[in-house]
């Protein structure tokens, strides 16, 4: 009985503490909050903003949509190849971050398959596929995990201002006529924004790396396992079964003693 009760008690203690911990990167953009009543208590269900569709092209001339990125965690930024100020530094920091992330294999293909990088050009008229390829070659960008994107300017600016809402997060504000921001944006596999970081600040980039690790460990709420929400019930049933077996053995021994 002790062998069962001790781990069971430890499980509930750890579970209670872990539920209070807030290590996961928080959600940022709210679409709506739905209030309701459950088990006699008022509860709120937050509907987080899901980023709108994309239809752009990368440095290899291949079309890019969210279907191309299904199941991926995204780190995104906004740049342009003629930028003489912050963009080269941001691209170098993005490259260092990309190179620090791999699939853990010691040999063979070490390219990370879970995290993908996107750099949106805010000057798509000049940043053609050929120009993006030049930038990618200059910084030795790995096309398997990092795409430089160009396409319709209206779509890109709508994504920057109305989808990831850079204007609300950049401390200096964003010019809606020409987006020029130093922010890196963390996006989960459900297309929810989970963080904004200064792409030129080492402390902020360390925080991004930490949040990225936690996000890769986060369970997808849309993919519940068979045991989700049933562990307590299974533990109680198992405990009852052990207790019943113990009683059965006790009575069998009693009967043998009388016999």
Q: pLDDT tens across 93-130, in order?
A: 999 999 998 655 544 555 677 999 999 999 999 999 99
Residue 37 has a pLDDT of: 83
Per-residue pLDDT at 232 exceeds 80: no
Per-residue pLDDT at 157 exceeds 70: yes
Mode of pairing for the β-strands spanning 146-149 and 73-79? unpaired
Model pTM? 0.75
Residue 224 has a pLDDT of: 53
Q: What is the pLDDT of residues 29-61, one digit of tens each?
A: 999 998 888 888 888 889 999 999 999 999 999
Helix (H, G, I), strand (E, B) or coil at 172: coil
Its CATH architecture, for the domain 48-216, is: 3-Layer(aba) Sandwich (3.40)
Q: How confident is the model at residue 20 (pLDDT cuts 50, 70, 90)?
A: very low
Give the separation between CA 42 and CA 34, rounded to whole angstroms: 11
Q: Nearest-CA neighbor of 74 among 233, 215, 176? A: 215
Report, as an integer, the average pLDDT of 215-236.
Answer: 61
Task: State the Rg of the chain over Cα.
Answer: 26
Two tokens at 14? 């750890």
Which range of 123-127, 171-175, 222-226 scores highest in mean pLDDT? It is 123-127
Give the separation between CA 80 and CA 82, rounded to whole angstroms: 6
DSSP state of 197: E
**Cβ atoms of residues 149 and 120 within 8 Å:** yes
Residue 230 has a pLDDT of: 53
């Amino acid at each position: 009985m002790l062998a069962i009760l001790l781990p069971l008690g430890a499980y509930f203690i750890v579970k209670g503490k872990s539920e209070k911990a807030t290590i996961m990167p928080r959600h940022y953009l709210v679409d709506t909050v739905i209030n309701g009543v459950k088990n006699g208590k008022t509860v709120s269900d937050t509907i987080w903003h899901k980023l709108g569709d994309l239809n752009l092209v990368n440095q290899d001339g291949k079309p890019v949509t969210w279907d191309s990125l299904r199941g991926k965690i995204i780190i995104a930024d906004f740049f342009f190849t003629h930028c003489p100020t912050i963009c080269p530094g941001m691209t170098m920091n993005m490259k260092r971050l990309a190179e620090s992330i791999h699939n853990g294999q010691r040999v063979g293909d070490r390219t990370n398959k879970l995290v993908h990088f996107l750099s949106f050009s805010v000057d798509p008229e000049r940043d053609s596929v050929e120009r993006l390829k030049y930038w990618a070659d200059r910084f030795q960008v790995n096309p398997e995990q990092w795409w430089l994107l160009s396409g319709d300017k209206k779509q890109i600016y709508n994504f920057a201002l109305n989808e990831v809402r850079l204007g609300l997060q950049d401390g200096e504000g964003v010019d809606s006529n020409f987006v020029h921001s130093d922010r890196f944006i963390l996006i989960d596999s459900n297309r929810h924004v989970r963080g904004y970081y200064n792409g030129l600040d080492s402390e902020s980039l360390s925080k991004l790396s930490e949040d990225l690790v936690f996000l890769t460990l986060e369970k997808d709420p849309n993919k519940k396992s068979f045991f989700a929400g049933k562990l307590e019930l299974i533990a109680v049933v198992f405990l009852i079964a052990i207790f019943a077996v113990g009683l059965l053995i006790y009575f069998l021994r009693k009967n043998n003693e009388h016999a």
